[in-house]
Amino acid sequence: MPTWTVHGGKKLKGKLKIQGAKNAVLPIMAASILGGGTSRLVNCPQLSDINASVDILRHLGCKVSCRDNEIIIDSDNVCKCHIPHTLMLKMRSSVMYMGAILARMGEVRLSRPGGCELGSRPIDLHLKALKTLGAEISEERGEVCCRAKQLRGAHIHLDFPSVGATENAMLAACAAEGETVITNAACEPEIVDLQNFLRCKGAQISGAGSSVIRISGFRPRKFACHRIMADRIAASTYLCAAASCGGDVLLDDAIANYFYTVITSLRSMGCDIICGSNYVRIKSSGRLKAGRPIVTKPYPGFPTDSQSLMMAACLKAEGTSVFVENIFENRFRHVPEMRRLGADIRTEGRVAMVSGVERLSGAPLNASDLRGGAALVLAGLIADGETCVYDTGHIDRGYENFAYALSSLGADIKRI
């Protein structure tokens, strides 16, 4: 079990290249099996979730080679349509393989992802979308089975703009006869990245980034090469760290438009942030004041993934900061741990109120999820003395060399 040991009180200074986006590369890896051929993905972050996805691809029959930040997937010999429970368990987003395998094989069987640390996380919208395309769906012994001799283009209206359901619908629609229109689609930048990759693979698809996506055909190409977009949540993590620690940090390969709500919130707290075409620079005194309320919403609203990170930045900010979590029912699990440092946080249902305190004191903490775990490390960076974050591997799922990245900026942090 990795433990992150932090000694707080250091300012952050320097330059950091932002990793490729976990939430873009995972659906793109699933998409690589569409139509066979070889896919070369560059700027892939090295993460345990990516390793789990590589295991799934190899199980399905792909040849996969990984070197540094490049992954090459040869999917010509995909021969299985079942993912065993042990592989599904390693990563919640393995559900992305449902649309991809159905499109490639005409059938898919995988275990229904259970609840997780963020809440119940149902997949009803994914299944409804596949059903609309003509898949027959059955469930047996905890497994979902989808079958379709031939998927047919259709109008899929999502009751909620779910990221995963939008991605599954896009993948399955690539194999459908006729045009598919997805309305109330999620608009996240990762959906646009998936569209860009699908175009490289030979899909006729447009509209990603808006709420209407159209897929009208797919002529598979033998070779596709794609650079994974920069990770907006990793970028907002380092921005929040620099904001509360104080200092001067330049994030390279950071696309400000992708996390503008985070930037605007930090500005309202007193940070000086300059945005270039592919960099973001923050200067902060470390003495912040409570800013505008943080209300999480689907993109382009404030991202739920950055809520805990922003909360860490607010723990010592003067005044009261308000957080409203609208996406996941269980995304305040970092709160009791932050209180152990001396943070003053009250919660009521989906609302948390943080009253800034003068001092935090280091303590042993437990990471309960990826972003919550990273937020505890950030809180440790502004606490006096030593904070140990005990983690069952959550942070490694989403951050490449997290301790190295923060220590390269001057933080006193070790991963043991």
Pick 165 or 282: Cβ nearer ligand EPU: 165
Pick 247 or 398: Cβ nearer ligand EPU: 398
The active-site residue, picked from 79, 81, 116, 146, is 116
CB 218 to ligand EPU: min, Å: 23
Longest C-alpha distance within the chain, in Å?
64
d(CA 225, CA 242): 34
Pick 103 or 194: Cβ nearer ligand EPU: 194
d(CA 155, CA 176): 12
CB 207 to ligand EPU: min, Å: 18
d(CA 251, CA 97): 32
CB 119 to ligand EPU: min, Å: 6
Is 364 strand, coil or helix? strand
Cβ–Cβ < 8 Å for 291, 269: yes
CB 77 to ligand EPU: min, Å: 26
Q: What is the DSSP letter of 160?
A: S
Helix (H) or strand (E) holding 140: strand 136-140
Cβ–Cβ < 8 Å for 15, 248: no
From first CA to last CA, the distance across the chain in angstroms is: 9
- Taking the CA atoms of 371, 335, 357 and 361 in sequence, report the sign of the dihedral they define: negative
CB 193 to ligand EPU: min, Å: 11
CB 114 to ligand EPU: min, Å: 12
- The burial of 222, by beta-carbon neighbours within 10 Å (0-12 exposed, 13-18 middle, 19 or more buried), is given as exposed
Measured CA distances, 386 to 11, 133, 363 (Å): 16, 54, 7
Active site annotation includes 145: no
CB 326 to ligand EPU: min, Å: 9
> In 272-386, which residue ranges form alpha helices assigned H by DSSP?
307-314, 335-339, 370-381
Pick 75 or 368: Cβ nearer ligand EPU: 368
Helix (H) or strand (E) holding 220: none
Cβ neighbours, 10 Å, residue 238: 25
d(CA 93, CA 116): 11
Burial 134-169 (b: 16+ CB within 10 A, else e): bbeeeeeeebbbbbbeebebbebebeebbbbbbbbb
> Which residues contact ligand EPU by CB under 6 A?
23, 26, 93, 121-126, 160, 162-165, 186, 304-305, 327-328, 370-371, 398
Structure tokens that stand for 161 in this block: 């703009």
CB 31 to ligand EPU: min, Å: 13
d(CA 128, CA 135): 9
Catalytic residue numbers, as ranges: 116
